[in-house]
Amino acid sequence: MCGTCGCAAEVGHGHGHGRTVPLEVDLLAKNDGLAAANREEFAQRGIVVLNLMSSPGSGKTTLLERTVRALGAHLPVSVLEGDQETALDADRIGAAGARVVQINTGAGCHLDADMVARALPVLDPGDSSVVFVENVGNLVCPALFDLGEQARVVIMSVTEGADKPLKYPHMFRTADLVLLNKVDLLPYVDFDVAACVAAARRARPGVEVLEVSATRGDGLDAWYAWVRGLIVRGESAPDRAGQAPDDQLD
């Protein structure tokens, strides 16, 4: 699967030492069990968890800063911030007013359910609150690892190719919402919005796609309304165990 990309290397939190974990198919099964336990705890406590996934540079930290400022005035919001190194994004989110815990994965290219479970007591989110998880920038491995989240949001920008959903179908296949960011740059880039939306819906039929600009503010009210609607509905995310295609598990 991804044993050659660093997932099997040292995985740790913050600036401490990690541990070596061989990434094999049975690890996905173990992860699914831990994710189910996370999901049960979230449900019991009324915590809504959203897993934000994208390639590097999509603008998800900027989007999250604005989201924290907009929703945090009315809802208890906290953030788990995932990166291979540094606490730069966590510092930005903290400055925006949210309680935040940084998870550094070292050579690892995704968060997993165990990392989330170990970070939660430190984050200490309140009951009936919202937790945003900013996953490591990567359009492959994060899609394979259920964290116990209630919803998955895939963010891509118009500075990327419109064919990204075709090239990385599993990421988009597991999406509950797709945010197409940086639409303020559409006059300056060669990007076919309709083709991108069609490709996303080829991977996930009927998936909702919102066009937004995290810098200019376009479409953000619709994004905030989507998050609020998720909270009101209180729906559980689908069971994603075993969703990885066979060719992803070699």
Q: Write the DSSP string, 178-224.
A: EEEE-GGGGGGS---HHHHHHHHHHHSTT-EEEE--TTT-TTHHHHH
**Which tens digits make up the pLDDT trace of 12-69?**
444 334 444 455 567 889 999 999 999 999 999 999 999 999 999 999 999 999 999 9
d(CA 1, CA 246): 10
User: Quick check: 105 pLDDT over 80?
Assistant: yes
Q: How many CB atoms lie within 10 A of CB 174?
A: 23
At residue 244, the pLDDT reads 41
pTM for the model: 0.84
At residue 235, the pLDDT reads 53
At residue 97, the pLDDT reads 93
At residue 2, the pLDDT reads 55
Q: Provide, rounded to the nearest whole percent, the portion of the chain with pLDDT above 70.
A: 83
Mean pLDDT, residues 111-122: 97
User: Quick check: 106 pLDDT over 80?
Assistant: yes
User: Quick check: 241 pLDDT over 60?
Assistant: no
pLDDT band at 233 (very low <50, low <70, confident <90, very high): confident
At residue 249, the pLDDT reads 29
At residue 157, the pLDDT reads 98
Region of poorest pLDDT, from 69-73, 87-91, 221-225, 235-239: 235-239
Computed over every residue of the chain, the mean pLDDT equals 87
At residue 28, the pLDDT reads 86
Cβ neighbourhood burial of 165 (10 Å; 0-12, 13-18, 19+): buried
Q: Provide, rounded to the nearest whole percent, the portion of the chain with pLDDT above 90.
A: 78
Q: At what angle do helices 60-72 and 88-95 cross, to 10 degrees?
A: 30
Domains and CATH numbers, the chain: 10-233 (3.40.50.300)
User: Quick check: 175 pLDDT over 90?
Assistant: yes
**Which tens digits make up the pLDDT trace of 140-158?**
999 999 999 999 999 999 9
